[in-house]
Amino acid sequence: LEEIATSIEQETNQKIDADELLENLTRQLAKYYQILKNENGAATIRQQWAIRSTYFRGKSVTVKLENESVTGMTCGLEESGALRVETKNGEIKIIHAGVVERLRKND
């Protein structure tokens, strides 16, 4: 974990006030909770995530799962929010949990 762990301060080169961070995080969670309660809320959140995500579609990745690794190209999300990865043989793997590593050589 040490080789991949980071911090907000390390990533932004800014000292972050913990109370301010918690306040902003709580406000954003409340906002998205209200969106989620709407009829099409889950779809709206998925769409917003897809716009912001660097892994949503067209990225070469390896996903480390509990008992195996899956290598392929990201190809969107399932309705559940699971990541879809297309392997070299054309099989679509549905990834619910795992460690995603981007393979930069093909992106």
- What's the predicted TM-score (pTM) here? 0.63
Residue 85 and residue 63 in contact, taking contact as beta carbons nearer than 8 Å: yes
Question: How remote is the C-alpha of 3 from its chain's centroid?
Answer: 19
Domains in the chain, please, with CATH? Answer: 8-50 (no CATH), 55-106 (2.30.30.100)
Tens-binned pLDDT, residue by residue, of the chain (107 aa): 677 788 888 888 999 999 999 999 999 999 999 999 999 998 888 888 877 777 678 889 999 999 999 999 999 888 888 899 999 999 999 999 999 888 876 44
- Crossing angle (nearest 10°) for helices 41-52 and 18-37: 130
